Amino acid sequence: MTIKAYVYDAYGTLFDVHSVTKKAELLFEAHGKAISEEWRKKQVEYFMLHQLTGRYIPFSEITRNALLYTLKKLSLQCNEDALDSLMEAYLELKVYEEVHNTLHKIQKNDVKQVIFSNGTYKMLEPLVKKRELTDVLDLLSIEDVKQYKPAPGAYQYAQEKLCVNRDEILFLSSNFWDITGAATFGFKTAWINRGSLPLDVLGVKPHYIFSSLNDLLNEKELHS
């Protein structure tokens, strides 16, 4: 198999969205975990609904709106300073422990490595810079095409920007909805199944299932 581009989802794949829990806990004692989990759940639901109804707004607004809903659902009083502090946490997400080693080793193989995310450039650029990944990763955002993944138009945009065939792209995500969209479009896919979850019953099977990005380095077929 000839792979010319490794395309990574950002949130949940390279960056741990639940690393916001610590700041949430500081602001709302005993509620950090619940805030993180509901926030992410609502964030995904909101961008899906915006895509389905054709009402695009930037991912930063979706993320803030999802946070507002979460705090209301949990009956937590919040001022603008606390909101801004939690939103700032999305610019400081931690990377999973194997990310740096894996991406730097793959970079030696002279292939493209790109983040392709629903996040805006203003959300992604400081995050990639803070986590010292600018030397190995380029950035693509659906902000350019205003179609949220898993819409086919989003993946088509990424392919056109990369100037390679669909089956020369390995798309990696921890989110099965994203794997479903990418595989249906025609990308090779690798599901980063960190939670050892069963396959969703959607008629889609990833080309690879990895427990972490470390497994990417051990897959001989990709490096032959």
DSSP letters spanning 9-74: --BTTTEEGGGGHHHHHHHSTT-HHHHHHHHHHHHHHHHHHHHHTT----HHHHHHHHHHHHHHHT
- Among residues 33, 39, 90, which one has the least CA distance to residue 60? 90
* Contact status, residue 144 vs residue 157, Cβ threshold 8 Å: yes
Q: Token pair of 84, please? A: 């801004």
- What pLDDT does 218 receive? 86
State the CB neighbour count (10 A cutoff) for residue 187: 24
- What pLDDT does 220 receive? 67
- What pLDDT does 9 receive? 98
State the CB neighbour count (10 A cutoff) for residue 221: 9
Instruction: Output helix, strand, coil percentages for the chain, rounded to the nearest 5.
Output: 50, 15, 35
Delimiting residues of CATH 1.10.150.240 domain(s) in the chain: 17-89
- What pLDDT does 224 receive? 57
- What pLDDT does 7 receive? 98
- Each residue's pLDDT, cut to its tens digit, for the chain (224 residues) gives 689 999 999 999 999 999 999 999 999 999 999 999 999 999 999 999 999 999 999 999 999 999 999 999 999 998 999 999 999 999 999 999 999 999 999 987 778 999 999 999 999 999 999 999 999 999 999 999 999 999 999 999 999 999 999 999 999 999 999 999 999 999 999 999 999 999 999 999 999 999 999 999 987 677 65
Domain boundaries 17-89, CATH class: mainly alpha
* Contact status, residue 106 vs residue 113, Cβ threshold 8 Å: yes
Q: 9, 81, 110, 200: which one is catalytic? A: 9
Task: Quote the CA–CA distance of 114 and 117 in Å, as a whole number.
Answer: 9
**Cα 51 from chain centre:** 17
pTM over 0.75: yes
- What pLDDT does 108 receive? 74
- What pLDDT does 132 receive? 95
Q: Is 111 exposed, middle or buried (0-12, 13-18, 19+ CB in 10 A)?
A: middle
State the CB neighbour count (10 A cutoff) for residue 224: 7
- What pLDDT does 78 receive? 86
Residue 9 designated active-site? yes
State the CB neighbour count (10 A cutoff) for residue 73: 13
What amino acid occupies position 73?
K
Delimiting residues of CATH 3.40.50.1000 domain(s) in the chain: 5-15+93-223
Fold of the CATH domain 5-15+93-223: Rossmann fold (3.40.50)
